[in-house]
Chains A and B, each alone.
Chain A
Amino acid sequence: MTAAPSTGAQAVPHVPPVGPGERVLRALGSMRLSVWLVLLLMLQVLLGTFAQSWLAIQDVQRDFFESWFVVGELPISFWGKPLWPDEFNQPWRLRIPIPGGYPVMLLLAVNLVVGGLVRIKWSARTAGILVTHIGILFLLVASFVKMHFSYAGMLGVFETPADGNLLPGRVYETSRIVSSYADELVLLVDRGDAIEERTVPEQQLWGARNDGIVTVSAEGLPFTVQVEHWVDHSRALPKGPMVRSLLPEVDGAFLQAATWPPGEQPQAEQEYSGCYVTVRPNSGEPLKAILRSTRREPFESSRYPWTFTVAGQRYGLDLRRVTLDLPFKIKLDKFQKRDHPGTLSPMDFRSYVTVRDGTSTQEAQIFMNNPLRRDGYVVFQSNWGPQPMGGPPWYSIFEVANNPSDLWPMLACFVIAAGLLLHFGMKLRRFLRSSAVTRAEV
C-alpha cells in the first residue's frame, strides 16, 4: 500500500491553489478521514455490543446502527467486577455521544468512492486495492439495498395431522408472513366478502412515545385516529382494585412498560408494542381503546381487531406485526427432529413442506443451512415447537426473507478475497525480491 493516493498531507506539491469544491472533494477522499471514520465505527460497534446487555437486540440495531445520532454507554468494570454499581449491581456507565450508523456508513461510502476509487492512482500496483475497494463498496451497496428494499417475516405452521383431523383456528397452511419485530397500525374496513386494509408503519407512530400524540387520518374517512402512549415493550394487564397503573384504564385494562432483569434479553412476551387509540368521528363521541401487537400464529390464525362502527360502517383497528402475503402457500407435511443419542440437544431438525401456488405444487425439505429458494423468497428453518420436549403436535417456524441483494455479499466476498490476494500477493512478491531479504542472505 505504499502507492498512497495523492491525498491528505502528502498531496502532490506542484498543484496550483485549489478551489473550495476541490478542497471538499479532497477532504472527503482523505485517508485520515477513513481512519477516523473507521475508529468511530469501531466505537459504535463496541458500544452497540455492550448495549445488548440491557437492550433488546432490535432496539440496539435501531438506536445505534440505523440512526443518525446516539448516546452510547460504556459499562465500567475491571476484572469482571462492576465499578460503582447501581441498585441492580450493574456497573456505572459512561455516556458517550456519537454519530449513529447512517452518517458514518454514508461518509465511509463517500470516502471510499472519492478517495479509494476516484482519486487513487490507477496502476498495476493499485489494482488489488481497487478491486478490494470495489468489493467493499459492493458490500455496502448490498447492505443498503437490504436495508431499504428487503423484508422478512416469520411463518409458523402446525404439522398436518396424519388423520386429517385439523383443529379450527390453528394454522396448517398459510401464505402470510409477519415481521419479527416491526409493527404497523392497520385500519380494517369490513366490506362483507372482502376486507380492506390501510396501514401505517410504526415508525410514523413513534412520536406518540411518552406524552406525544400522533393523529392519523386519510382522505375520505369519516374520522381521525389519535395515537397516544406508545410503549415499545408493553404488557397489557386487567385493572383490578389492588393494581396501580401509570397509564389510563380503558375497558378494564391498561398498558404497562415491560421490564426484564439486567443482563438479559426480553422474553418473547415482552417484545410486543402497544398504544392507546382514540377514534374521533366527524360527528359524535370519541371512542377509546388499547391496542397491542400480540402475535398468535401458529396457534390461532385469526386477528382480533378492536371493532367500532362509524356512520353505519364497521371498522377495525389493529396493531400487528407487519403482515405480508407470499405468492405461495406453505403446508407442513411432517416435522422431524433427531437428537444426539440420549440427549435433548437436537442434531437435526427439518420440515417436509408442500409449497403451492395457483398453478404448481412443490415438495421440499427445509433444514438448517438448507433453505428453500423460490420466487425471489428464501424460506429458512428457524425454530420449532413445542419446546423443549417436542410434539406431537409439532409446529415449525420459518423465517421468510425477500432480499434483492441476497447473494451479493457472497459475490462481494469473492471480489474482496481476490483483491486482497492480488494486492498482498504482489506486495509479498516485491518484498521477497527486495533488498531486505537479499541483504540478509548475502
Chain B
Amino acid sequence: MTRSSAFVVFSCLAAAACSSDTATFGPAQSFPKDQRPTVWDASTKDRLDLATMGPAQGSQDAGPKAWKGDTPTGWEELAAEPARFRNAQWKLTDAPGADCYLTVGVGGGVAGNLHRWYVQQFGKPSAPAPEALPPVEFAGRSGRLAELTGTLGGKAGQAALIAFYAEGDSVTSLKFTGPEAAVAGNKDKFLALAKSIRSAPAGKDPQAPPIDRNTPMPANHPPTGGATNQAAQPQPQAQPQPAAASPFAATVPADWTPKAGSQKPLHHTFAGDGEVYVSQLGGGLQQTLDIWRGEMGQKQPLTNDQFAALPKVAFLGEDAVLLDLTGDMVGMTKKLANARLLVAARADAGTITFCKLVAPAAGGEALLASFRQFCASVRRTQ
C-alpha cells in the first residue's frame, strides 16, 4: 500500500509543467476604437511611464531650465546631473558625506515620496501626513519640511532635511543628507538655500521673482471676523502650482499698471482702488464662488440652479463663469465700500483658475467690457 501511494505521489510530481519556448497569439478580437482608447506612437518615456521616475515632462517642453540657489558659505556648488535627478547640487566643504541636491518634478505624489523617504530610505514604520510637517519657504512657495534621523543606506547616525512642494502628482524637493551633526549644524544654511532656490528658462533673467500663490497671512495676523470655509483653505496636496516663471500672459488695457512687488500673476491696479489679478485655488468652484459672494455681503449660498444660470465669459480659451456683484466688500485683506467685484473662474483638474477684479462701482459698463476683453486675452505661457 505504501509503495503504491508513493508511486502515485511521484508520478504527480513528475507531471510538473515544463515551460516551452514558443507561444501563439490567441484569436483576433475586434473592438470599436472608443472601447480601447489608444495612444499610438507614444514615446518610450510616456509608454513606460518614466515620468514617474524621471524629470517632469514640463521641464523638457519649456527647454532646459537652470536652477539656482544662493550657495551658503562653506558650501560648494557642483554641476547639475539631471540624469541622476539632481537639477542642482551642493556639497559641504568641511563635512564629507553630506550633500544636498535639488530634484525637480519627480512623480509619485506627496504621499508616495514621503513613503519613499520615511519608510524605504530611513526604514520608519510609516510616513507622516504632509499636513503634519512644518511649513517651509522653498523656491518661492510654501512647501513642507521633512526632518529625518536614523539609518540611511546602512549607515547609522544619518539625518536628512527635505524641503518639498508638489505640483499635482510631481514633487520637487531639496534634500540634504549626511551625518547627523553636519545636518543639524547646517540647518539654517539649508533653510536659507531652500528659500533662495529659483529657476528661469535658460538665457532669461535668472532674478525673475518667484511666485507664491498662497499669500500667507502674517504669522501674528488676527483671525478676522469674516466668512471662512474649509474649501478656501489651500490644500497642500491637491493644489497644482505653476512653474516658477509667470504662467500667464495677457493683453493689458493701457490705463492698468502692474502692481509693484506683487507675487500674483498679472496683478494690476487702476483708477485708484481698482485691482485685478489671475490666480489659482484648490477646492470646489461653487463653494469658492460662495466665499467671494460672502465677501460682498451675499450670505445665501448659490443654489445649483443659480450656479448653472451664471453668465459665461471667455477666459483662457474656454468659457468660464462670470460673477458680477456690487456692494460693500469685506475681504480677508481688503475692504472697499460700494465696490464691484468681477470674477471669471473655471475649474479644471481640481484647481480653480480665476481672474478677479475689484474696483469702485462707478466704473459702469466700461469696466465690464474691459474685464471681458482682458479675460479673453489671458493665455498660459507654457
Contacts and interface: CB of A to CB of B under 8 A. Distances in A.
Contact of A302 (B17, B37, B52): B37
Nearest to A8: B1
A294 interface: yes
A99 B81 CA distance: 51
B327 interface: no
Given A165-B348, A167-B349, A214-B23, A302 B28 contact: no
A172 B38 CA distance: 17
A200 B28 CA distance: 11
A95 B335 CA distance: 77
Interface string A270-289: 00000000000000000001
Contacts of A103: 9, 12-13
B27 A314 contact: no
Given A68-B12, A194-B33, A388 B42 contact: no
Contacts, number: 202
Given A107-B12, A217-B25, A307-B41, A389 B129 contact: yes
How many residues of A sit at the interface, in one of the four size bands?
Answer: 35 or more
B5 A392 contact: no
A285 B26 CA distance: 25
A193 interface: yes
B309 to A, nearest CB: 13
A301 B23 contact: no
Nearest to A88: B154
A306 B8 contact: no
B47 interface: yes
A187 interface: yes
Contacts of B35: 175-176, 325
Contact of A217 (B4, B24, B115): B24
A440 interface: no
A292 B48 contact: yes
Contacts of B41: 307
Contacts of B377: none
Interface in B1-52: 1-2, 4-5, 8-9, 12-13, 15-17, 19-33, 35-42, 44-50, 52
A27 B4 contact: yes
A306 B9 CA distance: 46
B325 interface: no
A387 B26 contact: no
15 contacts: A102-B12, A190-B40, A196-B29, A204-B20, A207-B19, A237-B50, A238-B83, A261-B123, A294-B48, A301-B37, A302-B38, A307-B41, A307-B42, A325-B35, A386-B111
Given A197-B36, A290-B48, 6 more contacts: A197-B30, A198-B28, A205-B23, A290-B44, A305-B38, A386-B109
